Amino acid sequence: MEPPLFADLALSRRLEAAEGYACAQFALVRRRLFPESASEAVRIAGADVVYDGVDSPTTQTFGLGMHQEATPDALAAIERFFSERGSSTQHEISPFVGISTLRLLCDRGYRPMEISNVLYLATQSADPPRVGGPPSGVDVRLIGPAEATLWTEVSTRGWTHEHPELRDFLDQTGALLTAREGMACFLALLDGIPAAAGALSIYQGIALLAGASTVPEHRSRGLQAALLQARIAYAREHDCDLAMMVCEAGSNSQRNSERQLFRIAYTRIKWQKTL
């Protein structure tokens, strides 16, 4: 029997590292294919520091204070990195960093701007996820290289319904999919019509489930649950011991993942310091 898995600092370090790696690699691929984007990723004081455009949701740090102490000098270096690129500084902060890091952020003028839940599933556990069959008329499949543009069209339609400012950013995504090592992208079809998209990135035994969206006219049809099930199965087949998701606290995405037996590891806050 495997030892129990606790939501603690060790788990948080793994989960934050997986997300940081995925976002850093995505920015570096974008810079290689689209040099004008000026995307960049560096590591400062053990944190992944990612710039992928001023309006990008991944322009921030990951893992600050998790492996090295967050010091005023480290924060100053990170702030210079973002200010030189015309961006505010944002940090996703795990609660396991402790009070000292939070006090330091407050002292430097940071304010909370977003709350999210980090969820995980032990994919190889004795109690597998509730896979069941997809709803009638729903089919999920892994895309091939020639379908990157189709995947992007579906994903963009789903995301820009609520976030129209991300259209230009998302329109570049198709070319990045086949270039990004370790990325697997899935389409969900409803009666043969592409209606939802989702992605998965693997890093050191963790499958990060991200990029899930459904076009507005096909929502509430079980497409995201089917995408989630397919990606969990893919993670198990590729020897990932953990799958993770990051969701807005209390969102439909969180409820869908909890139905598949994901557990909330911790609630984290994104902090922002304006220019």
Q: How do residues 226-274 score in pLDDT, each as one tens digit?
A: 999 899 999 999 999 999 999 999 988 899 889 889 999 999 999 999 7
- Cα–Cα distance for residue pair 34/41, rounded to 1 Å: 15
Shared-domain flag, residues 105 and 154: no
Q: What mean pLDDT is reported for the chain?
A: 90
pTM over 0.75: yes
Query: Going by C-beta distance under 8 Å and a sequence separation of 6 or more, which residues neighbour residue 14?
Result: 204, 206, 242
Instruction: Give me the CATH number covering residue 76.
Output: 3.40.630
Q: Which helix (H) or strand (E) holds 200?
A: strand 193-203
Position 70, amino acid? A
Supply the DSSP string of 108-136, one letter for each residue.
TT-EEEEEEEEEEEETTSSS-----PPPT
Q: Is residue 23 part of a domain?
A: yes
pLDDT of 1 > 50? The answer is no
Structural domain including 100 reads: 9-118+268-273
Shared-domain flag, residues 171 and 257: yes
Shared-domain flag, residues 164 and 227: yes
The pLDDT of residue 160: 84
- Cα–Cα distance for residue pair 207/240, rounded to 1 Å: 6
Q: How do residues 41-74 score in pLDDT, each as one tens digit?
A: 999 999 999 999 998 889 999 999 999 999 999 9
Shared-domain flag, residues 144 and 110: no
- Cα–Cα distance for residue pair 49/61, rounded to 1 Å: 4
